[in-house]
Structure 1
Amino acid sequence: EKKLSPADRLAGLEAFDAVLGLNLRILSREDLRLRPAGATLTADEIETRLAERKDARAAKDFARSDAIRDELAAAGVEVMDGDPLGWDWKPAL
């Protein structure tokens, strides 16, 4: 079993991208956050709630932080603390 180098993997993905016309290199995070049609919160509302949660955590108000996380989860949003790519949230599946 031969493993591909990261450069070869990227070249393969770029070839698929060119054939499929996905334009993956120009997609923004917003483009990648597909939301269900019935989503109750907009991306801006989610970002606002995440900022409030960050402030609550900084103030060591963990009950409020957890309440905001639970509110977002109920709205179909998964909070991603410590994500290595820097993502704050994603739609819950």
Structure 2
Amino acid sequence: MPSTVTTTDSGGSRVGSLSLAEKARLAAFSLVALAIIALNVALTPVEVLGALFLSWGGGFGIHQVHDMVISGLLWIAVLLPFALMLYHPATG
């Protein structure tokens, strides 16, 4: 038996159709995600964030691979919350 999904959303703003509690939860989640991004960028030294890209040149000595892995994990910690804020699952 085929199923169909009908929605009343006309493709407009999804936030406008949320209840007050859902809007508060969305705002709180967005603030927490932005705080995680800001803290990661502000508290991580520029050399460490750049190590993922700069270590390929060999300027980091014996800890080159170690610095690249740590830098890669930090970039994931910066980009993952941002990606989660942009993700909107399909309703239905």
TM-score per shorter chain, which class?
0.3 to 0.5
**TM-score normalised by length of structure 1:** 0.36
Higher helix share: 2
Q: Which has the higher contact order (CA 8 A, sep 6+)?
A: 2
The structure having more radius of gyration, on CA atoms, is: 2
**TM-score normalised by length of structure 2:** 0.36
